Structure 1
Amino acid sequence: MTSQTKTQRILIIATDGFEQSELTGPRDRLRNGGFEVIVASPESGTIKGWDQKDWGQAVDVDLTLDEISVSDFDALVLPGGQINPDVLRLNDKAVSLVREFGQSGKPVAAICHAPWLLIDAGLVSGKTVTSWPSVRTDLANAGANVVDQDVAVDGNIITSRNPDDIPAFAKAVQTALQNVAEPVA
């Protein structure tokens, strides 16, 4: 008898002002790797990215945060940009979902400024993490061991610094998911 693995589902939580490449880059790499990737936001419809120095393209929202059950997903990805995580960290439902993912032991991946959400969710104390330079003091003040490298993996927490790190970031998410894949009869 051969066993099949179910398609693993990855949730991306974002809102207007996400860094364009930090949502679309991991999303596309993970989809190409055979994962189902769902984008969720506080509001339905579309969200607009920030592309370096101006507004970027819109991305369709698949689910609102109120429609999310952590048990329906295998991992969480949080894109950065200055605006996106700063707005989301003020959203109680977003912070609660990030905390629940982290406490579940499922991979939680945050790039650039998105580790702000990990701080507010109480997930960085004692963890080795990286981020955009301006977020590193906040991480250290929250009890994290901060490093400057393309990707840091500590348990189920995966972090990266910037868009240049997207290949290593997406690969770390894929590796974490391969390590938790469960065969389905």
Structure 2
Amino acid sequence: MSTSNLKGRKIAVLATDGFEQSELTEPKRLLEEAGAQVTVIAPGDAQQITGWNKKDWGEKVDVDQSLDQAQADGFDALVLPGGVMNPDKLRQLPAAVGFVKAFGDAGKPIAAICHGPWTLINAGLVNGHRVTSWPSLRKDLENAGADWEDSEVVTDGQLITSRKPDDIPAFVDAVIRKLAA
């Protein structure tokens, strides 16, 4: 794991109910340990969102900012946790897709794990990029013009993608390296 100092770096984590527990809480913890300020952003006016922990509902996580108040220009990078429910809900919300697209348009790093790349598809950001994801998204990503590969982490330009919770150390390390560059 990189030990780079991310002091002063601001990272947005966009999620809603049903995010894969470890794919939000562990990157958040590791990025904060590296010195970053991590802001959990969610649609609506929820004070907390509830994770999905493998096979059942998990812990609640505090929401720091509502999506309607969040601006991509206030952050250095975006993290999109997976789980099935979370990205499936987000990719149907124009405000969430617009928020992700704003990071893309600004050339800022976007890190998506597991099913998180679904939202990248809807934001029009995967065409011509190498990516990875949970295996069931492979065809969706290829149909959107991505070159999918089965690797623990893939960095292509501003996009950083990983497959599953086991990949979190490599995923976060790639985010840290990208922000420290």
Q: Same fold (TM over 0.5)?
A: yes
Show the counterpart of 1:41: 42
Q: CA deviation at 1:6?
A: 5.9
Instruction: Supply the distance in 2 between the matched residues of 1:59 and 1:6 (Cα, whole angstroms).
Output: 23
Match of 1:155 in 2: 157
Structure 1 unaligned segments of length 5 or more: list them: 180-185
**In the alignment, structure 1 residue 169 sits paired with structure 2 residue 171:** yes
Structure 2: state its 5+ residue gaps: 1-5
Computed over aligned residues only, the root mean square deviation of the Cα atoms, in angstroms, reads 0.9
What is the aligned partner in structure 2 of residue 19 from structure 1? 20
CA deviation vs aligned residue, 1:65-107 (integer Å, no higher than 9, x gap) = 0111111100000000000000000110000000110111110
Q: Kindly provide the CA deviation profile for residues 96-134 of structure 1, in whole angstroms up to 9, marking residues without a partner as x.
A: 000110111110000000000000000000000000000
Whether the 8 Å contact between 2:50 and 2:61 is mirrored in structure 1 is yes
Equivalenced residues, count: 175
Q: What CA distance in whole angstroms lies between the structure 2 residues aligned with 1:77 and 1:128?
A: 17
The residue matched to 1:22 in structure 2 has which SS?
Answer: helix
2:80 is equivalent to residue 64 of structure 1: no
Q: Secondary structure at the match of 1:176?
A: helix
DSSP 3-state at the match of 2:126: coil
Q: Could you say which structure has the larger radius of gyration?
A: 1
Following TM superposition, the consecutive aligned residue runs of length 4 or more in structure 1 with deviations greater than 2 angstroms are none
The aligned residue for residue 129 of structure 1 is 131
Normalising by structure 1, what TM-score?
A: 0.93
Distance (Å, rounded) in 2 between the aligned partners of 1:11 and 1:142: 25
The AA in structure 2 aligned to 1:147 is: E
Equivalent residue, structure 1, for 2:3: none
Aligned residue for 1:55, secondary structure, equals strand
TM-score, normalised relative to structure 2: 0.95
Rounded Cα–Cα distance in structure 1 between residues aligned with 2:7 and 2:149: 35
Quote the Cα distance in structure 2 between the aligned partners of 1:160 and 1:108. Answer: 12
Q: Secondary structure at the match of 2:140?
A: helix
The answer to whether the Cα contact below 8 Å between 2:7 and 2:36 also exists between their aligned partners in 1 is no
